[in-house]
Amino acid sequence: MGPTFRSRSVVPVRGASWVPHLPGTQTGIHEEDHVTGWELFGRMAVRKGKWKVTYIPPPHGPGEWELFDLDKDPGETVDLSKKETKVFKGLLLEWDRYVNETGVVGIPPEYGTLRVD
């Protein structure tokens, strides 16, 4: 068993250091095939290279996964999920892997939407 804190396992930090990138000795942070996933307030995303899938629940989003080519569409305005089905399905599998690795869960619909005025 690894290190613990308050009787809970401490898991390794995810991510990579920016230190080599800051002085300009390294041009990028991650390799092209690196997968990054995240979730915040029910909004979910996975990125791999130039591709990104997002899920944004209503009322601020469509309530379904969308696929974007960030090289051609950095504003994420054109959903390519129906056109690039192989890439889309692959990134959704990466999302499932991310969920299994981290234990992240979405927000249950009964919690509603947080509105900040």
| pTM for the predicted model, two decimal places | 0.75
In tens digits, the chain (117 residues) has pLDDT values of: 678 899 888 877 777 777 877 887 777 776 778 898 999 888 999 999 999 999 998 888 999 999 999 999 999 999 999 999 999 999 999 999 998 888 887 665 555 555 555
**Sign of the dihedral through C-alpha 100, 101, 105, 106:** negative
Cα of first residue to Cα of last residue in the chain, in angstroms, is 46
Domains of the chain: 29-105 (3.30.1120.10)
